Amino acid sequence: VPLGEVQKAVNTAQGLFQRWTELLQDPSIATREEIDWTTNELRNNLRSIEWDLEDLDETINILSCIVEANPRKFNLDATELGIRKAFITSTRQVVRDMKDQMSNSSMQALAERKNRQALLGESGSQSWSSGPDKYSRLDRELQLANSHFIEEQQAQQQLIVEQQDEQLELVSGSIGVLKNMSQRIGGELEEQAVMLDDFSHELDSTQSRLDNVMKKLAKVSHMTSGRETTWSADSALWVTGSSAAAQPRVNPVSLRLPLGQPMDLCRVFLSVVKEHFCWNHLGQGEREGSFWGSCCA
């Protein structure tokens, strides 16, 4: 329970107590109904204040233990807690004084006498008066207290609304930042998806080419399997400027070459052909224009 609400309830109870005292001391300004109503309202208010004070006392005792452990977290110190405890003590004393006066024998006797006068219709020197003005003062005090309470509640609600508006603005700004970040991340993810798609196509193409190369290598490996490979040439023909009859016959030549790379084998084969197939019988012009000249140059 906030301290402000308890203080308002105490002010209202003090106003009721003052009116109750005036009614008992001067019966001419009130009726019996007003006295009964004021008495009941005062007792109810005092009882409610006592309950609120008990709740406050328990809350402050709990806060005392927590604040001693971590005072900065709750923005409270021992001085503030001492002020609140002093408020509870003084308010309890005020409530106790009003209850003591209400239970005082003289006040009870005065109240009983007023009740008897109203019941028996005694017409002493002072008589009970009636009229619309009997409740006017009490009503004004209650209305004034209620208006103050309503104004303070409205001010607190307005402050809460303003704080909520500030928090909503902060949340809105954070949402805007997150939106921009999500858009940028989405764009980057789309670009990476395109890059991954292109890479996948390139990988498929490379895999296909690699498969073809592996097949060719398998064929070459099968052809060159074993420690030695035999190359055979049945004949060799070349084109020169002389007639075909002048071209010499070449006997078949068989070569036994060690295993190696295909290009190396080709070079060795051409070198042997150069030596054994009448290369020396060709003239300089015939060598340069011949088939073997173009291959072995």
Mean pLDDT of 197-219: 86
Q: Residue 112: which pLDDT band, with cuts at 50, 70 and 90?
A: low
Residues 7 and 118 in one domain: yes
Would the pLDDT of 250 be above 50? no
Q: What is the pLDDT of residue 240?
A: 35
**Distance of alpha carbon 126 from alpha carbon 27, whole angstroms:** 7
Q: How many domains are contained in the chain?
A: 3
Burial of 205 (0-12, 13-18, 19+ CB in 10 A): exposed
pLDDT for the residue numbered 110: 59
**122 or 13: which leads in pLDDT:** 13
Residue type, 290: S
pTM: 0.37
Q: Which residue has the tokens 């190396």?
A: 264
Domain boundary among 190, 223, 256: 223
Picking from 123, 140, 170, the residue at the C-terminal end of a domain is 123
∠ CA 242-246-251, nearest 5°, is: 125
Asked whether residue 188 is domain-assigned, the answer is yes
More confident residue, 19 or 26: 19
Indicate whether 155 and 199 sit together in one domain. yes
Domain encompassing residue 290:
228-296
Residues 169 and 268 in one domain: no
Asked which of 3-7, 142-146, 168-172, 287-291 is least confident by mean pLDDT, the reply is 287-291
Nearest to 241 by CA among 288, 294, 295, 297: 288
Ranges 32-46, 109-123, 157-171: which has the least confidence: 109-123
Quick one: how far is CA 90 from the chain centroid?
Answer: 47
Q: Which one of 139-153, 176-190, 283-297 scores highest in mean pLDDT?
A: 176-190
**Model pLDDT, residue 191:** 92
Tell me the pLDDT of the chain averaged across its residues.
70
Last residue within a domain, chosen from 223, 251, 273: 223
Residues 154 and 261 in one domain: no
Q: Are residues 166 and 265 in the same domain?
A: no
104 and 19 share one domain: yes
Asked if residue 105 belongs to a domain, the reply is: yes
Same domain, 218 and 233: no
